[in-house]
Amino acid sequence: MGVVAVYPGTFDPPTKGHLDVIRRGARLFERLIVAVAINPEKEPLFSEDERLTMLRQLTKGIHNVEVASFRGLTVDFCRKRGASVILRGIRTFSDFEYEFQMALTNRVLAPDVETLFVMPSEEFSYLSSSMVKEAVALGGDLSRFVPEVVLKCLKRKLGQG
């Protein structure tokens, strides 16, 4: 039986950088579950449903990718879904410390779940969802970094579309 992996994140909104990680993960694992983390302490711009819909549109051509949301611990979600791997992307050296802490904490919580990292393409290495939201809100063109469906949702949300 092949390996099932979970790619957790906030995805507020998903960018081409996230899609790059998803595509790499889909090639590596039998099944990849893109998991939208619902954190009651965060106030995302996009609702849970909006993030799920955007991610489903973006991944509809990738047969072994599923999109879901979860509350609580990522490792509990992994166990519930039979996943033995947490997939994360490392963009720059500055991501490393946070990812290192998170991977080791998750290992304490669930020694049977392994965190694996991929490097997204360098053209997306400095990209973040906050920067995308800020630039689009101020009228900047970031279509290079944001999939068309997301850009449309973003403009609508910001009253520009």
Report, as residue numbers or ranges, the catalytic residues.
18, 42, 91, 129
- Give every strand in the sheet of 114-118, ordered side by side: 65-71, 31-38, 4-9, 85-89, 114-118
Residue 72 pairs in a beta bridge with none
Question: In this chain, which of 10, 57, 64, 69 binds ligand COA, going by CB under 6 A?
Answer: 10
Contact 84, 3 (CB under 8 A): yes
Round to whole Å and give the CA distance between 127 and 48.
22
Torsion 71-74-79-83 (CA) sign: positive
Backbone φ and ψ for 15, nearest 5 degrees, come out as: -120, 180
Question: In this chain, which of 6, 26, 32, 37 binds ligand COA, going by CB under 6 A?
Answer: 37
User: What x-and-dash track marks residues 51-90 binding ligand COA by CB under 6 A?
Assistant: ----------------------xx--------------x-
Question: In this chain, which of 5, 55, 129, 150 binds ligand COA, going by CB under 6 A?
Answer: 129
Closest contact distance (angstroms) between CB of 102 and ligand COA is: 4
Packed helices 148-157 and 129-137: angle between N→C axes, nearest 10 degrees: 60
Residue 15 touching ligand COA (CB under 6 A): yes
* CB nearer to ligand COA: pick between 1 and 97: 97
Residue 18 touching ligand COA (CB under 6 A): yes
Which positions lie near ligand COA, rule CB under 6 A?
A: 8-10, 12, 15, 17-18, 21, 37, 73-74, 89, 91, 102, 105-106, 120, 124, 127-130
